[in-house]
Chains A and B, each alone.
Chain A
């Protein structure tokens, strides 16, 4: 197990390094440098040169990369061109919304998908399975912003249980959670549908395995065999999908963030791109890529926890 973890850690470190180099060089390739962006087109060449020297932009590329990497390591992602504030702080602020939102959506999706997938797999090929999976298909097809609007109409406008939008901050935990509930539900719907499909087909696969027959020959009922033997064996593909969904939810919530006026990471990136605030884009992309790599690492670890054959 230790060897497995260490090998994963090494590959985690390498991926991070490679990703950082890639992100750094992509921004370097874009014409114009940060100094000319900050000063605008009408700047004097001397002022520009002075700023470039001050920002270290006159140094050779590898040295600049190392400087930048050193900054990243100490939590310094540079300053936004537009807002002149530290990029790290901006991303951190937005993470306070995006991270809980993604987690909440994922928990909701899993909580919905688990019983649906198990139900359909237990009745595979029969009417119950067909009906449930047809409904699930609709869940995948529905655009989530439209579902979000339905949720707002029902729970915010008609019932007045939950706010229609905005985020009060974590100083009021209860209110903050309430305001995340509807967007999380809207985000969770298609993910739950995908997850249910994956779980169902993984379960159907495992239910056809010889050890399920052995379990039935032991005297386990079909339901017991499903819960005790099939479920854990079907978990590996489900974990893979969960990891991918989390990464997607972290930054892919932009439409839902807009529908609910949430100050999330997706909106920050969108704004930064429209304002050509490259340093913010760079920082945000770096954080997202790091999150994806980290989640992949955690998924790999959970494989080993789920499957003793990987621990050897």
Chain B
């Protein structure tokens, strides 16, 4: 059994981990939950002996009575991959793009057991079969770029368990995956723990994932474990205030906004088709094309919040780009406020000013060299800069609850949640009618996400905004939208009032999405926070 005792990590005078105790018994799954920056990943890296340069660990990590923290690097190399395996969040980049998957799995066997390439590859075949990548569909000679995200994560698991380690550490292994893929990967991990008797340390920010799989759970906050115990007990009792805050945020319901009584169409999409040319097959083959959006029609009324849900590759981002008029359509049309969005060669400025967007990545969507004031004033180039632009910028910041001294700071000085608020302020500044929110809260922690969702609901009330809310996360869509559309393979397969669709799904695809979504059993939740939502009418 691997056990961390009083494990601390510091960088300079700054504490990152503060004396955590964690027992990881064989055949059991331990969930480690907490928000970003709470130290979950650092705990894993400290156990692996792979802390970033400059960090120092103290305390004990015991394996067979040995303290791993005392071992020299050479001895640690013999333990990593053999006794402790690890997989990471981002399967798209976790594998060497220039090496075949067979060689990458075989490498573990070659360096630890000194097998020759042929014997190691035989063994790798067996391990890849175990994680569900069987012949003949998945030969050893494939390269990572020929696999999907879920399949790559399976390769990463195969090489982590190649030597049947005592402990497998999985750091957010399904966060980057779709719900149905997530469910399959979690099933695989559960099966591996059962069959091979290894311990699994599952690090995640998602309480629902932990509820479905972990035997015991530890909650981390600011480098310390604030509560731990058997999963059901922790979920039912929620003894620590932080645990309660996390739970409340994960099921948080912003105040509902009722759509106005006289619907007025704002955005109308009719028979939209978007095609991409595919590379020619052979030298003379016909050039075929991929239909990413296949005859999609829908409308959004003024002041309405509509969700667009689907897995990666379903065409929702392509559709979004077309709505924002970043790409042309090959068929059908899009009208916004009654005008064709591509009346000219590009979207008319006046029209673009009334449709703004907020994207997923709060880090990449700002110019790092500009100050917030300039960032926020940028959309004025669509409308002409008004005389009182400084007041308007300050007002927009005030509306999203960012202190006024932010105006003269750079974007790197803000947290992810603050950046997303600033992105919303930037969208608001020219008073649009529709905001397209493309996975706008997906990168945020639950508590920050709850605050941003509240903000969005409030802005919708005060400005009569309409939202097109694109997400892969059904629970967020449930919290913020009136209507939802489910998209699969370029088509909308089901749509209707959000609660009706999510509570009584008709289409098999919607049903499979809902079945795959992890959820906290209803009876585990404290009754106090069941339903505190109130409905207020939207301003007309």
Q: Which residues of A are in contact with B by a Cβ distance under 8 Å?
A: 2-3, 6, 125, 209-211, 213-222, 224, 228-229, 232-233, 306-309, 312
Q: A214-B94, A222-B73 are in contact. List 11 more A-B contacts (CB 8 A).
A: A211-B94, A211-B95, A215-B96, A217-B50, A218-B80, A220-B77, A221-B73, A228-B107, A308-B143, A312-B145, A312-B279
Q: Give chain A residues whose Cβ lies under 8 Å from the Cβ of B93.
A: 209-211
Contact across chains for B111 and A233 when beta carbons are under 8 A apart? no
State the CA gap A307–B97 with chains docked (Å): 8
User: Is A309 in contact with B143, judged by CB distance below 8 angstroms?
Assistant: yes
Of B48, B79, B95, B98, the residue contacting A307 (CB under 8 A) is B98
Bound: A179/B396 CA distance, A: 73
Pairwise interchain contact A221-B50, C-beta atoms closer than 8 A: no
Partner among B108, B145, B279, B280 whose Cβ is within 8 Å of the Cβ of A218 = B108
Query: Among A125, A221, A228, A308, which residue has its beta carbon within 8 angstroms of that of B77?
Result: A221
Contacts of B94 in A (CB 8 A): 210-211, 213-214
| Chain B stretch 34-85: residues in CB contact (< 8 A) with chain A | 48, 50, 53, 73-74, 77-82, 85
Q: How far is the CA of A217 from the CA of B94 in the complex (A)?
A: 11
Q: Do A308 and B80 contact each other (CB < 8 Å), given the known contacts A213-B88, A216-B50, A219-B112?
A: no
- A-B contact number at CB 8 A: 80
Q: Is B492's beta carbon under 8 Å from chain A?
A: no
In the complex, what distance in Å separates the CA atom of A47 from the CA atom of B165?
Answer: 93
Q: Is B430 an interface residue (CB 8 A)?
A: no
Contact (Cβ within 8 A) A220 B111: yes
Name A210's closest neighbour in chain B (CB-CB). Answer: B93
Chain B residues near A217 (CB, 8 Å)? 48, 50, 80-81, 85-86, 88, 160
CB B233 to nearest CB in A, in angstroms, measures: 32
Residues of chain B within 8 A of A312, CB atoms compared: 145, 279
Contacts of A211 in B (CB 8 A): 93-97
Question: Which label, helix, strand, loop or mixed, suits the secondary structure of the A interface?
Answer: helix
Q: How far is the CA of A98 from the CA of B328 in the complex (A)?
A: 53
Residues of A near B96 (CB, < 8 A) are 211, 214-215, 229, 233
A55 to B97, CA, bound (A): 58
Residue A219 contacts which of B77, B98, B99 (CB distance < 8 angstroms)?
B77
Interface residues on B, range: 20 to 34
- Nearest Cβ in chain B — how far from A80, in angstroms? 44
* Interface contact A2-B108, CB-CB below 8 Å: no
Task: Point out the residues of chain A lying under 8 angstroms from B99, CB to CB.
Answer: 229
Task: Please determine whether A218 and B283 come into contact, CB atoms closer than 8 angstroms.
Answer: no
CB proximity of A217 to chain B, nearest CB, Å: 4
**B97 and A218 contact, CB distance less than 8 A:** no
Contact of B145 among A220, A221, A308 (CB under 8 A): A308
Question: With A and B bound together, what is the CA distance between A218 and B212 in angstroms?
Answer: 28
Determine if A218 and B159 form an interchain contact, defined as CB atoms under 8 angstroms apart. yes
Q: Please measure, in the bound complex, the distance between the C-alpha atom of A218 and the C-alpha atom of B111, giving whole angstroms.
A: 9
Q: For the complex, give the distance between the alpha carbons of A214 and B279 in Å.
A: 32
Is there contact, CB below 8 Å, between A210 and B77? Answer: no
Query: In the complex, what residues of B have CB within 8 A of residue A125's CB?
Result: 53
Chain A residues within 8 Å of B112, by CB? 219
Chain B hits for A2, CB < 8 A: 283
With A211-B94, A229-B96, A309-B145 in contact, is A219–B81 under 8 Å at CB?
Answer: yes
Q: How far is the CA of A6 from the CA of B160 in the complex (A)?
A: 40
Q: Determine the residue in chain A with the shortest Cβ distance to B96.
A: A211
State in angstroms the CA–CA spacing of A147 and B111 once bound together. 45
CB neighbours (8 Å) of B53 from chain A are 125
Known contacts being A125-B53, A210-B90, A308-B143, is A219 close to B80, with CB within 8 Å? yes
